[in-house]
Structures are given as structure tokens and as C-alpha cells.
């Protein structure tokens, strides 16, 4: 079924092919991608768009000696297939199987692990400098998407690389940018010309001649920029010190291979602008690349058949609250760092376009932008994934918390995220949030509590975070009427004897199950900060064992807050802290992952019984 693809187990085999065979290989690879991802789920649109680019890069560069550094990494399925992992694709994103992102421990061809955006240029620059220091001919290539180019880190790296004159190639995979002029024969011809040795030699020779005549040199440079600027959007990158080439058709293998071959022999920082189409070659994905960005299993012939969810996800609960709140409070502003769909803000963006801001993949800017709005009397709500909030920790402390500004963080994907693995897990937020002064940190145990906590946080005149997990909750229907919760107060949900389980957020449901088996008291703590010290101390007096459970690392988390409270008041009572272990948890089924961590009802019971027996 895939006669050419079946012969490739390493890029060396790819490089033995004749160039005229590459288009057929691209067709086979694209068909294999659709078939494979339809069985496992994963990122589809982005991978379909980079088939030809991936083939060309491995065909031209001597990988793994030459380094390919992928940004974000969700577009590397073709890369995995061509580097000996074709058969393992059936295990993609499954426990013990292939990661959905590049991973150094998985293959020598994955030279840099990713999952977050805008890191590739910095990493590739480090590799280019290392090659220079070692005196070898190793080449470093950063492949970055137009979305990732909105991240400030990418521009920091460009600025540094241009000044260092390193042998670095940055490939911009542009599938959505407005700067892309139509790609056709003229642009492809100019790219070949500007990447050729004759053009580069002529450019260097002219500079040597004109160095003795500074005014003429400056005139020549300006003239070159003016001419190139009329036909290409590369002026910005030229100003960073890069030799800009493109834009070229990212699906034309002849143009890609020729241009990359030329660039491979050029010295100094090079910038290649490649225009591609998300979902290329699969009609369903071409028609709706967002729907096919991240997919579950589907029938490749009929495409994705949308099914109404059995119960609304927390993302939906947040989106509904945001719209309802904005209708009553004209000062509410919604902000997201490039996660409109993922954060549930599509309806808000449609209903309140003047108060909706997608700032791009720029988490640091998102928080300080929110701080500026708060200074002027607005009530910003920042919808952000837990894993991405890590990138804006300084702004949270320096720009929001120190100034005690009323910015609400709606933190999605708190806890484990299943198939996306360690790079996307929200394992640390309770730990790094609760140590920040002025912060209020809430963890809803169900859908209604999430809605009421968002309302409570919105009313505070200080920084607040509402942290909820991926997917849906236990299925509690949210009350339309919004009522503020008493800040820093938990509640006892089940009364028992001897053992008290203090559950935080998503852990309440399994804790109640465990409580029935153990005849334990179960408290829904609600607040990580301020902690309900009165409730903690009362439960400590009335029970012989306290158990804290949280979907967060045990180190410094909610359980640590309880331990600190007991120590502060001189209360000595056995305390069992259950949570995520002190290691990065790989991808897998989220239910099984929680069970493996002892955070399902059976695991809680087992841990408690072990303590009792000891």
C-alpha cells in the first residue's frame, strides 16, 4: 500500500532516493498519516501541512548529525515516521508508546524536546554555537510556525542570533500569516536566486569593494532592501541580521530541495520563509483545519462526526460564565494567549468582540497587559492553561501580585492531561500559586462550584485564580444564579469517624467514594489559599488521621498548606499527603494515570489502610 514509504527506516534511505520519487513519497506519507492518526487520535492538520517540508529537510541535511529543532513539536509525525518509528505510530500518545512531541529519550533524531512554543530558535542557536566551538561542520535548523513566531522568546533569539553571525537556518512554516504574499513562480524563482552561491558571492564581493566608499555601501544596502522589500516581506528579518529568502511554496518539493541545498552552503544566519496549508491533501482537514487540529479516533473516509457531549466540560462552564458575567459587567475584559477555542472563549469573542483580546502565544504579555487594564479600572479575566501559566510566573508576581491588582486567572488543564503528557500537565500550579502573597486560589470540585468560584473571584479586589481540570466534572448542573462563596471556607460533605479526608478540587468525587468504604469524614476544602484553618484544626481534633488529596505535586501543594497550618498551631496528628509524585508523568490514559498515582478511590483506600496497619 505504501511501496516507497515501506523502504524508509532511516533518513539515509530517504537520501538514496531520486528526487523525482519524492512527490510520490509525499503522497504515501500523507495517506499514512491520515490512516494512522484516525486510529490513535492526535494532531492532524499541522502534520498534513508539513509533509513536503519534512521530507526536504531530511533529504538535504545529514540528520542526525545536522540538527533539526522543531518548535512546539505537534507537527513532527512525518519526522517520526521517516526516522524509524513508522510501525510504532500505532502506539502514539498511549502509555508506553510514542510521545506526541519530540523527545530526546525516544530517538537520536529528536535533538530537542518540545511541547511549548517559541523555543526552537534559541535551542538551535545554542547548537550552532556549540558546533562552532567544537570546530565541526554540523548545521542547526529551527523549524518554527507562524503562531509560535508571536512569542516574544522567538524574537529574543532572532535578535541574539543575528548579532552573533552564527551558522543558523530558521525555517518559518507560514500557514496563516497575513504577511504572506501569493506564492507563485516569481517568488519561487527569486528564492532560488537569493539562496544561490552566485548571489551570495556577488553580495559579499560588492560589500568589500564598497567598504572603501561608506556612503556608497550604505546606498547599496538600502537599494537592496528596497528591491527585496517590494517583492518579499523579509525586511523585518533582514533588520535582525538574517539573510531572508522566500516566501516559497512549502508543498513544491523541487523548490524546497533546491533552495535548502543552496542555503546549506551559506555562512551566517539564514531565514527561509515557507508557505504551507494546514490539512493539505485531506479534504475534511482542508475544509476545517481547526476541527482537525487535535482529533480523537475517527473514520478517515467520513471524517469526524460531531457528537454532543454527555455533560459539559469545565471549559464550557467557564465560557458560559464569561458571557453571562460580561453581560452584567461592562468592565469585564477577556484575554487569552492564542487559545480561544481551547479555553472556551469562542462565544465570548463573537458576542463581545470589543472586549476580547487574543494576544498570541505571549503568556508574559497577556498577564502584564491584564495588569495594565486592571490599573485603569477594568476587570480582566485571563483564560490560560496551567502549563502555559508557568511561562508568565514573573509577570504574575511582579506585575500583578505585588501591585495587588484584580486580575482573574481562569486556569484550565489543572492536573494531568492524559495523552499530551508531561509538557502539558498542570502538575505544579497549586504549589507555585499558593506561595505568592495577595493571591486567592480556588479549586472547584464540580461544575456548579466552578461557576460560583469564578463569580466569587471576579468580585475580589485582588489577584485570584480558579483552577479546574481538563474535560468534564462529576455532572453537577450549574445554577444560573450566581452566588459568592465565603472566601477561605470549606465544607464537610460526609461525616465519619477516626479518619478525615481533606479533598481539594477534582479529588472530592473519588474521596467521597473512599470515604464510604473507610467510613471517613470527607471535607471539600474549596480554597487552597486562604486555607480554612478553622476547619483543618477542628478535623485534627476530632480524628486520629488526616489525609489530604490533590491533583497536584505533593511538594509544596495543598497538603503542604495543611501541614504548615498544623505546625503553626502546634497540633500533632498523623498526616497522609496524597498527590502527584515527584517525577514527570508520561502520556497515557488519564483515568489509568490517576489510578497509577493512587488518586482514585481504590488507591486512596489502599494508602489509608497501609497507614492504619503500620
Catalytic residues: 278, 363, 391
379/396 Cα distance (integer angstroms): 16
- What values do phi and psi take at 604, rounded to 5? -65, -45
Cα–Cα dist 498/496, whole Å? 7
Residues making up the chain, counted from first to last: 614
φ and ψ at residue 271, rounded to 5 degrees: -130, 115
In whole angstroms, what is the distance from residue 17 CA to residue 606 CA? 58
Quote the CA–CA distance of 276 and 75 in Å, as a whole number.
12
Q: Omega before 247 cis (within 30°)?
A: yes
**C-beta of residue 489 within 8 angstroms of C-beta of residue 527:** yes
Closest listed residue to residue 262, CA positions, set 56, 54, 23: 56
158: closest CA among 176, 174, 144?
Answer: 144
Q: For residue 187, give the C-alpha cell.
A: 517568488
Long-range contacts of 345-351 (CB under 8 A, 24+ apart): 345/319, 345/383, 346/319, 347/319, 347/320, 347/323, 348/319, 348/322, 348/323, 351/323, 351/326
Phi first, then psi: give them for residue 528, nearest 5 degrees: -85, -35
- With 0-12 CB in 10 A as exposed, 13-18 as middle and 19+ as buried, what is 26? buried
Enter the C-alpha cell of residue 40. Answer: 490513535
Choose among 579, 573, 570: nearest CA to 548: 579
Chain centroid to Cα 317, Å, comes to 22
Q: Which three cell numbers stand for residue 560?
A: 503542604
Q: Decide: helix, strand or coil at residue 251.
A: coil
Q: How far does CA 177 lie from the centroid of its chain? A: 20
Amino acid at each position: 500500500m505504501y511501496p516507497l514509504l515501506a523502504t524508509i527506516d532511516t533518513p539515509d534511505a530517504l537520501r538514496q532516493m531520486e528526487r523525482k520519487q519524492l512527490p510520490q513519497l509525499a503522497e504515501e506519507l500523507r495517506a499514512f498519516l491520515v490512516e494512522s492518526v484516525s486510529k490513535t487520535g492526535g494532531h492532524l492538520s499541522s502534520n498534513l501541512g508539513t509533509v513536503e517540508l519534512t521530507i526536504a529537510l531530511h533529504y538535504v541535511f545529514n540528520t542526525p548529525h545536522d540538527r533539526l529543532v522543531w518548535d512546539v513539536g505537534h507537527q513532527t509525525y512525518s519526522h517520526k515516521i521517516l526516522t524509524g518509528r513508522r510501525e510504532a505510530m500505532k502506539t502514539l500518545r498511549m502509555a508506553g508508546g510514542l510521545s506526541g512531541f519530540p523527545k530526546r529519550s525516544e530517538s537520536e533524531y529528536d535533538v530537542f524536546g518540545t511541547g511549548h512554543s517559541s523555543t526552537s530558535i534559541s535551542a538551535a542557536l545554542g547548537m550552532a554555537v556549540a558546533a562552532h566551538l567544537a570546530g565541526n561542520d554540523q548545521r542547526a535548523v529551527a523549524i518554527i510556525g507562524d503562531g509560535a513566531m508571536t512569542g516574544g522568546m522567538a524574537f529574543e533569539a532572532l535578535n541574539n542570533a543575528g548579532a552573533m553571525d552564527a551558522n543558523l537556518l530558521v525555517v518559518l512554516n507560514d500557514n496563516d500569516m497575513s504577511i504572506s504574499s501569493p506564492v507563485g513562480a516569481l517568488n519561487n524563482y527569486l528564492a532560488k536566486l537569493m539562496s544561490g552561491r552566485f548571489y551570495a558571492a556577488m553580495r559579499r564581493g560588492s560589500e568589500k569593494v564598497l567598504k572603501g566608499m561608506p556612503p556608497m555601501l550604505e546606498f547599496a544596502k538600502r537599494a537592496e532592501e528596497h528591491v527585496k522589500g517590494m517583492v518579499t516581506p523579509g525586511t523585518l528579518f533582514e533588520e535582525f541580521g538574517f539573510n531572508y529568502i522566500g516566501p516559497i511554496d512549502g508543498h513544491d518539493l523541487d523548490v524546497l530541495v533546491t533552495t535548502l541545498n543552496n542555503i546549506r552552503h551559506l555562512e551566517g544566519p539564514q531565514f527561509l520563509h515557507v508557505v504551507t496549508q494546514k490539512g493539505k491533501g485531506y479534504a475534511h482537514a482542508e475544509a476545517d483545519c481547526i476541527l482537525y487540529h487535535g482529533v480523537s479516533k475517527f473514520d478517515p473516509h467520513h471524517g469526524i462526526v460531531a457528537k454532543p457531549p454527555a455533560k459539559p466540560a469545565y471549559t464550557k462552564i467557564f465560557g458560559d460564565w464569561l458571557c453571562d458575567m460580561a453581560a452584567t459587567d461592562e468592565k469585564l475584559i477577556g484575554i487569552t494567549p492564542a487559545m480561544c477555542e481551547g479555553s472556551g472563549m469562542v462565544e465570548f469573542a463573537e458576542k463581545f468582540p470589543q472586549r476580547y483580546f487574543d494576544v498570541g502565544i505571549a503568556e508574559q504579555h497577556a498577564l502584564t497587559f491584564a495588569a495594565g487594564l486592571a490599573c485603569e479600572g477594568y476587570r480582566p479575566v485571563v483564560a490560560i492553561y496551567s502549563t502555559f501559566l508557568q511561562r508568565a510566573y514573573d509577570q504574575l508576581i511582579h506585575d500583578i501580585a505585588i501591585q495587588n491588582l484584580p486580575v482573574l486567572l481562569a486556569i484550565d488543564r489543572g492536573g494531568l492531561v492524559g495523552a499530551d503528557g508531561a509538557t502539558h500537565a498542570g502538575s505544579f500550579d497549586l504549589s507555585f500559586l499558593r506561595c505568592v502573597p495577595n493571591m486567592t486560589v480556588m479549586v472547584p470540585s464540580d461544575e456548579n462550584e466552578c461557576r460560583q468560584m469564578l463569580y466569587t473571584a471576579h468580585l475580589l479586589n485582588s489577584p485570584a485564580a480558579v483552577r479546574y481540570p481538563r474535560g468534564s466534572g462529576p455532572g453537577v448542573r450549574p445554577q444560573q444564579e450566581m452566588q459568592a462563596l465565603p472566601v477561605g471556607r470549606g465544607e464537610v460533605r460526609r461525616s465519619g469517624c477516626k479518619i478525615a479526608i481533606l479533598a481539594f478540587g477534582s479529588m472530592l468525587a473519588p474521596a467521597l467514594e473512599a470515604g464510604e468504604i473507610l467510613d471517613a469524614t470527607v471535607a471539600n476544602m474549596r480554597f487552597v489559599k486562604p486555607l480554612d484553618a478553622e476547619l483543618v484544626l477542628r478535623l485534627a481534633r476530632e480524628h486520629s488521621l488526616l489525609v489530604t488529596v490533590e491533583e497536584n505535586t505533593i511538594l509544596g501543594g495543598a497538603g503542604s498548606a495543611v501541614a504548615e497550618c498544623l505546625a503553626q498551631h502546634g497540633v500533632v496528628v498523623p498526616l497522609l499527603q496524597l498527590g502527584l509524585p515527584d517525577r514527570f508523568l508520561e502520556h497515557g490514559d488519564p483515568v489509568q494515570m490517576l489510578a497509577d498515582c493512587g488518586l482514585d478511590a481504590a488507591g486512596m483506600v489502599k494508602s489509608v489502610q497501609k497507614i492504619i496497619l503500620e
